[in-house]
Amino acid sequence: MTLGAGILAMLRGAALVVLVVITLFPIYWMLVSAFTPTGFSRQITGFLPPEITLRNFTLLITERPMLRWLWNSVLVASLASFLSMMVGMFCGYALSRLKFRGSYLILVIVLASQMIPSTSILVPMYALFRDLGLLDTIQGVVLGHISLVLPLAIWMSKGFFDSIPPDLEGAARIDGCSRLSALWHVAIPLAAPGMVAIFVYGFVTSWHDYVFPKHFVTTQDLWTAAAGITSFRGEYFTLFEPQLAAALIFALPVVILFFVLQRRIVSGSLAGGVK
């Protein structure tokens, strides 16, 4: 019995180790490739880089407009996410607090628009933007990204308002606030941590997408980092090492943000106000 239990525990431990290795190995390999001298990842025979170099990272700045792309990403992601949050907040509030006919239908529409394949939006949007002269502009990319972010912002803010007791707004209304100022001065400040989470989610969604910027924008200086990273095919072959160095820089801020805000995103909505 105890021997069997011991073997079982060892098997579980071994399975856990295998899972952890499978999970971490691609990330490890990204680090190895990013720090291997350009062109040398083909010659790796073991599981370590032959020598460690930072040249792939400096190459990004000297040979490619990586800083410019990162800045464009910040711009596009901030705009798309902030606008979606501001607009989505009101809809989320209405869906959470107000009883009106058709609210279930609106919920269905919002969720459906979040779940439909983005290529089905990309194609007609490209045709529209071609007619409207919005191709090759940052504004076009922001609009495209709002289509990815807004449904999520509505959906999430509904959830956050659901988790805030309506009593405080009721109290404010008794004190003479209109419904709008009760929303503005009571509900939204209470939901502020949730709004941060929505902004972060929207920012990350926009930051990660390469499909809209890559295909709406042809001027390389207007690309976001995501679009830029996918274009590392050299004249003769793909420049893997600088590409993975770029991918590392690109993924790192989001990974860090993700873990700093992990708890907050999951459970942050009740912090502050009521407890």
- Are 136 and 216 in contact by the 8 Å Cβ rule? The answer is yes
Which of 62, 120, 167, 275 touches another protein (CB under 8 A)? 120
- Of the candidate spans 11-19, 63-71, 194-202, 216-224, the one that interacts with another protein by CB under 8 A turns out to be 11-19
- 121 contacts another protein (rule: CB under 8 A): yes
**159 to each of 106, 202, 213, 265, 266, how far by Cα in Å?**
15, 15, 30, 12, 11
Which of 53, 72, 73, 147 touches another protein (CB under 8 A)? 147
- 128 contacts another protein (rule: CB under 8 A): yes
95 versus 190: smaller Cβ distance to another protein: 95
Which of 3, 62, 133, 174 touches another protein (CB under 8 A)? 174
70 versus 143: smaller Cβ distance to another protein: 143
CB of 70 to another protein, least distance (A): 14
* C-alpha span between 28 and 34 (Å, rounded): 10
* C-alpha span between 184 and 207 (Å, rounded): 29
* C-alpha span between 201 and 263 (Å, rounded): 13
CB of 193 to another protein, least distance (A): 19
44 versus 271: smaller Cβ distance to another protein: 44
254 alpha carbon, distance to own chain's centre: 8
Which of 2, 3, 43, 62 touches another protein (CB under 8 A)? 43
252 versus 274: smaller Cβ distance to another protein: 252
Per rule CB under 8 A, count of chain residues that contact another protein: 88
- 123 contacts another protein (rule: CB under 8 A): yes
- Are 197 and 268 in contact by the 8 Å Cβ rule? The answer is yes
* C-alpha span between 200 and 221 (Å, rounded): 25
* Those residues with Cβ within 8 angstroms of residue 221's Cβ, 6 or more apart along the chain or in another chain: 65, 68
- Are 129 and 66 in contact by the 8 Å Cβ rule? The answer is no
Q: Which residues 56-85 are close enough to bind another protein by CB under 8 A?
A: none
Which of 139, 181, 220, 267 touches another protein (CB under 8 A)? 181
Which of 60, 70, 77, 91 touches another protein (CB under 8 A)? 91
* C-alpha span between 183 and 166 (Å, rounded): 10
* C-alpha span between 195 and 255 (Å, rounded): 19
* C-alpha span between 212 and 227 (Å, rounded): 8
- 115 contacts another protein (rule: CB under 8 A): yes
- 151 contacts another protein (rule: CB under 8 A): yes
Q: How many CB atoms lie within 10 A of CB 183?
A: 20
- Of the candidate spans 55-63, 65-73, 95-103, 185-193, the one that interacts with another protein by CB under 8 A turns out to be 95-103
- 108 contacts another protein (rule: CB under 8 A): yes
CB of 140 to another protein, least distance (A): 11
Which of 35, 161, 203, 207 touches another protein (CB under 8 A)? 207
